[in-house]
Amino acid sequence: MDSRSEVPPDTLPVELTPEGVEVTYQDGRRVFYRGVPAKVAGSVRTAPGKDVHVLVTDEDERRGVLVYANERKTEDSILEDTGVGRVLLDRGEEAAVFPGVTVRERQLRVEVETDPGMVDGRVFVFEEDEMGERSFELVAEDAAEDDSTGDVRDADGRGGTAEDGSAGS
């Protein structure tokens, strides 16, 4: 496999629908993340070995930046043509993908954390592989408490609920 590098993201059109989240790449193709993302307070740690995409929208929720975390399959030129960014992390490393949004490598998992006071738009985390996909929206603590689902922060079920604050511990 050829060496891959980090790629800065471009701003892309975004559409939030009741069925999910659609992002239009610079080359005109579209990706659709199905389902309403589960609201989680502050951070989420994905299951190991999943493809992880982080979308940060602007305040009006019509544009955003999409970044792949630790994705090493796609050639740099393809990402550059689509406007999707990529951040590569070594064990224990972290990087800011957007002001107020940090990704960390945690033992083959990706942890995404947000500071809601620094982000004007919304932050979505999508994890997927050939077995399925899950989506999360990182929100302030009070917004997660308003969501009645009590979603678990760890995508593989480890940790507690977003309501009791023990998720991902």
Tell me the CA distances in angstroms from 90 to 4, 94, 95, 97, 110, one per residue in order: 13, 8, 10, 15, 11
For residue range 128-151, list pLDDT tens digits in order: 999 989 999 999 888 766 554 433
Whether the per-residue pLDDT at 155 is higher than 60: the answer is no
Whether the per-residue pLDDT at 64 is higher than 90: the answer is yes
User: What average pLDDT does the segment 120-128 reach?
Assistant: 96
User: What average pLDDT does the segment 70-90 reach?
Assistant: 94
User: What average pLDDT does the segment 46-57 reach?
Assistant: 95
Per-residue pLDDT, 163 = 32
